[in-house]
Amino acid sequence: MFEQTDRTEIAKLGEFGLIDHLTKHIHIKNESSIKGVGDDAAVLDFKGKKALISTDMLLEGIHFDLAFTPLKHLGYKAIMVNLSDIYAMNGMATQVTVSLGFSSKFSLEAIEELYAGMLLACEKFNVDIIGGDTTSSRQGLVISITSIGYADESDIVYRNGAEEGDLICVSGDLGGAYVGLQLLEREKQVFLTNPNIQPDLEGKDYIVERQLKPEARIDIVDLLKKLKIKPTSMIDISDGLASEILHITRQSKKGCKIYEEKLPIDPMTAETALSFGLDPTVCALSGGEDYELLFTIKQADYDQMKHDVDISIIGYITEESAGNQLITKAGNVHDIKAQGWNAFTSTQS
């Protein structure tokens, strides 16, 4: 759906020429980045803080479809997906390494676009690209990013700290990224059937952006700090709320009660889901890729939190034997199952 204009073969630059070309504009922003791109390893110094490290891969055909994903957006999203994991530890992200594998179908201009999205994300979130790897693949684009950050030991929030009675909170709204994906996939099919029909995404900017350009919630980490609230547990929502809350309760050896009516769903997400014959609640529970933060707080912190319109309290933690339950709008009780998106079981590829 996106046309390519100029085309320079990467072979013209060679591997080292390409690396130089992509990284020459990197200016180190963080004091902790002692040595970035250019040696056998980067050198970091967190001066008494604990280092946080996380890594995630994105593969063409599994995690993204280039038919409807502009490369600049993909670069931006690849960084967001990775920074989100550092914020989910209640830490600050400071560095990333970026490893790329791509076939000869990618021109220099295409890789530049991808990198421009990454650089934009890093600029906005004050993160340094300090290294990576560049190699060729037989087919398809592979992006592997490692994110690095820091936190005071006493600030780090794990998945396993939820206590009975804690309130379950979620930032932003859920299900939009999944419904956005459905919309983009439908338009791709329309385009494949008749390339003269332009994509009809009018008025759907919000959910399309939720899929193509997610924003990692650094602002929530800042807010928690400002309110002097340390969550008892936290995780980012990559696979879907249902799957993530089960990670928290399993690791904390607790159960939970979540109320369907409390799930934050944007009206456009709900309306578009219904037009696809999808249940908005199922999209919110199992759609994934929202990159919101799911966390638990002590009840004593409720008064501080209740004024924030961007955080929804969706339920509470129970004892383990009570299981993981969803209370529907009609008052029925269902067990929460991990129907989150899974690259190994997904039929979408």
Ligand X SMILES: Nc1ncnc2c1ncn2[C@@H]1O[C@H](COP(=O)(O)OP(=O)(O)OP(=O)(O)O)[C@@H](O)[C@H]1O
Binding site for ligand TPS (CB under 6 A): 56, 63-65, 181, 238-239, 288-289, 341, 343, 348
By the rule CB under 6 A, 56 interacts with ligand X: yes
Q: Which is nearer to ligand TPS, 128 or 292 (CB)?
A: 292
Closest distance to ligand X from the beta carbon of 39 (Å): 26
Restricting to residues 41-70, name those near Mg ion by CB under 5 A: 56
Whether 171 has a binding-site annotation, put simply, is no
Whether 239 has a binding-site annotation, put simply, is yes
Cα–Cα distance, 292 to 281 (Å, whole number) = 16
Helix locations, 227-317, DSSP H: 241-252, 267-275, 280-286, 302-305
By the rule CB under 6 A, 292 interacts with ligand X: no
Mark 229-248 with x for binding to ligand X (rule: CB under 6 A) and - for no binding.
Answer: ---------xx---------
Mark 73-92 with x for binding to ligand X (rule: CB under 6 A) and - for no binding.
Answer: ------------x-------
Q: Give the burial string for 20-57 (b: 16+ CB within 10 Å, else e).
A: eebbeebeeebebbeebbeeeebebebeebeebebebb
Query: How many C-beta atoms lie closer than 10 Å to residue 140's C-beta?
Result: 15
End-to-end CA distance of the chain: 18
Q: Which residues pair with 258 in a beta bridge?
A: 315, 326
- Two tokens, residue 67: 């038919």
Is 44 in a helix, a strand, or coil?
A: strand
Q: Which is nearer to Mg ion, 56 or 308 (CB)?
A: 56
- What are the φ and ψ backbone dihedral angles of 57, each rounded to 5 degrees? -110, 150
If we measure between CA atoms, which residue out of 332, 290, 285, 294 comes closest to residue 313? 294
Whether 158 has a binding-site annotation, put simply, is no
Whether 301 has a binding-site annotation, put simply, is no
| Contact of residue 244 among Mg ion, ligand X, ligand TPS, none (CB under 5-8 Å per partner type) | none
Q: Which is nearer to ligand TPS, 295 or 341 (CB)?
A: 341
In the complex, which residue's CB is closest to ligand X? 238
- Contacting residues toward Mg ion, per CB under 5 A: 56
User: Applying CB under 6 A, which residues contact ligand X?
Assistant: 56, 85, 238-239
Known binding positions: 40, 54-56, 63, 85, 115, 132-133, 159, 236, 238-239, 289, 341
